[in-house]
Structure 1
Amino acid sequence: MAMTIQFALFLVLAMGSMVPSAMAESKAEPDKLITSLFEAVNERLQADQDKIAADKTHLITIGDEVLAPYVSFETMAKQILGKNWRKITPDQRVRYTQAFRQRVSLSLVSQYDPSKKYDLEVTGARQNDKGDQAAVNSVVTEVKTGTKYNISYKLFVGRNASNWQVYDIVVEGVSVLQSFKTASAEDFKNNGIEYMIAQLQNSETATQGSESTVQ
């Protein structure tokens, strides 16, 4: 399960940097967007294998190139903190979101396995009546073993937005956001937001240290 969540999160991280030009010009349907992004992710990873082998943090560079238009880390952070989001200052919101995003990025770097290849089949998609929220269901297959994973992507589009944004991924019925949210509620109650931000930043430093050792 941990591997599939890491893989699903990598798709979120990478989506923004690998959008075909045709997708960037108009608001694609959610299912077509996910399919195109998945294919582009695989192509980019293959093309950049030498750079990744030389420095795995190149994965972060790939993800950060044009990440913002297609992934809403602020929405993720807000969902994770729940009602506690209203209890913190705007500055704390920004710093928590940035620390969470960077922590996810570095975690994916440490978990990335170039020997694993995947295929994706979109099995269904639906939107709400307003047309501003969507869910795309898929089956992701590990090519070498044939192991299949049910992965769903949750997206929304703002009133003035030109494209859909991913804000959650559900792997085998387990929401990535819910996994974070369960732990954060108790942490916020016992330690507060500044402690949580510091812990995320400390985790970033630890992960970077381990990556340096590997290199």
Structure 2
Amino acid sequence: MPSTAETLIARIRELQDELEQEIARRREDFRYNLRHGRVEFEEEARRRQREFRVRLSTFLRQTRPMVVLTAPVIYAMIVPFALLDLFVTIYQAVCFPVYGIPKVRRGDHIRIDRHHLAYLNGLQKLNCVYCGYANGLIAYVREIAGRTEAYWCPIKHAARVEGRHGHYAGFVDYGDAEGFEPGLQAARERVTERRERG
């Protein structure tokens, strides 16, 4: 009989599937398809989107000066992001094969596709490319870190933690000394079994 936690995890997965179905339905509403990972809009939908584009000059005139002044700070983050991307990619390439953990696919997390939207001007498209990369990178890093934690230290924290990764629910309860070794073994099997299934 599944535990309460396992039942809740199964329900969360069902809700995620429902969300994906709703997103697919909305895709039909906005008249685009994904073919081989590439966005294709119907021509009428693209024409309609262009009607809503705000010209770059208008966009810049409407932007508060303090927002413009903070832009270099935001864009300077590309350096640490790129370094993080490089080092984490090297880390998993070197360590994950040793542990038997399947590598995280970057492309499953980093999506750069919003620049295809005809209602965005050039600067908005650049911003969307940057945000898609930065947020996708964080998701990529989080999954690598989550798999590492599941392999080495699958223990829940004593206090509530916001934004837990998907492996956290299967961790051993804080303070469960008796359950630690069996829980560690179970977590390692879960995080490494993906290779056998994939």
Q: Which has the larger radius of gyration?
A: 2
- Same fold at TM > 0.5: no
- TM-score tier, shorter chain, comes to under 0.3
Higher relative strand content: 1
Q: Tell me the TM-score normalised to structure 1 length.
A: 0.24
Which has the higher relative contact order, 1 or 2, with Cα contacts under 8 A spaced 6 or more apart? Answer: 1
Q: Tell me the TM-score normalised to structure 2 length.
A: 0.25
